[in-house]
Structure 1
């Protein structure tokens, strides 16, 4: 039986493939607040996030068209990241994830009691 390639066909498979990476959703959340420079973004990430990992994740999100990377021609170099037009549309998903995530946290807390 031949496996189907559902990328670009199924919205769930497409979304999952585009948002691969452990930190992609959290990065999108931080960028939803507005443009941010690399170092500030790294400061807001969890401690285990390395410079290389963040750089790789940002490059992937940029390649997928979800974020913009703007490099300013100045010294010292300045690079800002922001959500792209399609990335901006992800804000409603982030809002829904926040609601569900908070409900799940409450559910976990109630099970511990």
Structure 2
């Protein structure tokens, strides 16, 4: 049986529907990283310092159930994730919010640099020890 998210039994609100997809500590960052490239579970975990494996697994399941990302199991040890068309639309909606946030940070004297995906070296992925 496919994983399905539970929805609150409230009157539907369009804005709350979208916010429910991105609500959570790491979801927006995962969407941002996947907007740059397809990434494995390990690459996502390494790119988001401090996220527990169980938490990342749960939020990836939520984003898959919401149709924002896809999942491909390449081997028992490697899974790859990427944005769906709906996920790309969602990232496009978040882009003006990010621009406004960068402006607010600048007003506070802070700077922001986007996190770069932490990729494994090609030699290591090929199974050769360094």
TM-score (norm 1): 0.80
Shift of the alpha carbon at 1:71?
0.9
Match of 1:40 in 2: 43
- SS where residue 21 of structure 1 aligns? coil
2:78 & 2:53 partners in 1: Cα distance?
16
- C-alpha contact (below 8 Å) 1:6/1:14 kept by paired residues: no
CA distance in 1, matches of 2:90, 2:16: 16
2:52 matches 1:58:
no
CA RMSD, Structure 1 to Structure 2 (Å): 1.9
Aligned to 2:90: 90
Deviations 1:75-103 (A, max 9, x none): x5321000111001123223212211110
Structure 1 residue runs of 4 or more that deviate by more than 2 Å after TM superposition? 4-7
Task: Give 1:38 deviation, angstroms.
Answer: 0.5
Instruction: State how 1:69-108 maps to structure 2 within 5 Å.
Output: 69-72=71-74, 74=75, 77-108=77-108
- Over 3 Å counting, the alpha-carbon distance change for 1:21 and 1:59 in structure 2 is same
Indicate the structure with greater helix content.
1
